[in-house]
A and B are shown apart, each in its own frame.
Chain A
Amino acid sequence: MDQKQHTDHIYIEALLKNDSKVLSKIYSKFSHKIVSYVRKNSGNADDAQDIIQETLVTIYHQAKEKNFILTCPFDAYFYLLCKRRWLNELKKRGNKRVTILEDDTSITEEQEQQVEETEIFEQQHQLFESKFKELGKKCQELLKATFKIKSMEEVADFLGVTYGYARKKKSQCMGKLTQLVKNSNEFHQLKAY
């Protein structure tokens, strides 16, 4: 990939390394704007803190799993993500009296694209998670063990079954999960496919 890393990619790395020194800069530099946006739109500082934290955790997962590279300034990217997350949250709460105050942050196409990438990642992540929870308890346990332990021999040992059986069960459970995802409404709304 020939994506050019922005200097603000340090914030992504700080998330990966749990580097509290750099992470504190995110809070000191960027949180103020988000808090005031949430406040102006029927929320409080606690809401803002949750929005910020969940957004950062999502970016963390995206970076971990997909090697996400930040190619634009963090400020606008992060602000837009938090803003949209808060609007979603308001929708979920069914708060109809809200008048959304628009602000005049201009964004480039590139920033918009990065924001979208993160949002799609999250939608997929959430879809997978919710479908996983629809699986039977046995399947959940087996898959959890499979992905945590990695070696299928050890997984079989851990569960007290043979290696062949563990393998077969694993693909069965994954198959079931695949079907659940494929037949869900959310899956068809995901723009990535």
Chain B
Amino acid sequence: MEELRYIEFDNYLNHELSDTELKSFEEKLKTDADFKQEFEIYKALESSLASKFKNEEAEKELRNTLSSLGSQYIRPIENSKKETKIITLFNYKKLMVAASIALIISFFLFNNGKPVYGDFSNHSNLELVVRGKNNDAIVNAEKAFNSKNYKEALQQLTILSETQNDIEIELYKGISQLELSNYVEADVIFNKISAGNSSFVNKATWYKALSLLKQEKYEDCKRVLKTIPESAEEYKQAKKLLKKL
């Protein structure tokens, strides 16, 4: 008997009752308090479960977004306060970012005008993983680049790129060109890499923007910065620079 009641609920919610059945159903809703209460629960359950299961995937995606925002906005505060904890490589990176941001900020306190290239051109060290025949050239290139001898670095990198096709080498050639203010050559390289699909796409886009910054083409720089996705490592820096422009 109970069972029939639930089948009736289901049919009602699916609009499958005949006119006479519908009439007696609605009559029962008015007169039978227990019938009404159970129907209300049944209906609420139906709506709640349907929404829950249908949105399971979307909920997961939302949670992903929220956790990454949470660790971006909430956890860093905590990390910098826990001094006794072992600094893992991950946290170390975060601290480095925080430190460089602090540096940038302090710099701007003394520089009220437009941001300048030098504030943002902290290149990560050149450490080529690919080893080949030209080990000498690799060592020389790394040494030159990391000691900011960009002319020498460019020469060595050019030698390297003749024998091996490596996007990282290309990128650092671009950075060296940029440092030497050879904008046309630099931009050609950044454009090519940023239009490709390697893991250096975002980095190349960031450098494209830096090149424009150095050339004081602020509007173009802004436009390029806006194309850097939030997921990119360079996003924070890009946002920072955008704010200043």
Chain A residues with CB under 8 Å of chain B are 15, 18, 20-21, 23-24, 26-28, 31, 35, 44-46, 48-49, 52-53, 56-57, 60-61, 64-65, 124-125, 128-129, 132, 143-144, 147-148, 167-168, 170-172, 174-175, 177-178, 181-182, 187, 193
Contacts and interface: CB of A to CB of B under 8 A. Distances in A.
A23 B62 CA distance: 10
A181 B37 CA distance: 11
A28 B65 contact: no
Interface of B: 2-3, 5-7, 9-10, 37-38, 40-42, 44-56, 58-59, 61-63, 65-67, 69-75, 77-78, 230
Given A124-B48, A147-B54, A182-B41, A49 B71 contact: yes
A145 to B, nearest CB: 9
24 contacts: A18-B62, A20-B69, A27-B69, A35-B74, A45-B75, A46-B78, A52-B70, A53-B63, A53-B67, A60-B59, A61-B55, A128-B44, A128-B45, A129-B52, A132-B49, A147-B50, A147-B52, A171-B3, A172-B6, A174-B6, A174-B46, A178-B38, A181-B45, A182-B37
Given A28-B73, A53-B63, A53-B70, A144 B53 contact: yes
Contact of A148 (B37, B54, B65, B66): B54
A124 B51 CA distance: 13
Contact of B58 (A18, A21, A65, A171): A18
B6 A65 contact: no
A52 B62 CA distance: 13
Mostly, the B contact residues are helix
B49 to A, nearest CB: 5
Given A27-B73, A174-B6, 11 more contacts: A23-B65, A31-B73, A35-B74, A53-B70, A57-B62, A64-B55, A65-B48, A128-B44, A132-B49, A167-B10, A175-B6
B45 A178 contact: yes
Contacts of B72: 24, 27
A177 to B, nearest CB: 6
Contacts of B5: 175
Contacts of A61: 51-52, 55, 59
Contacts of A35: 74, 77
A49 B74 contact: yes
Contacts of A20: 65, 69, 230
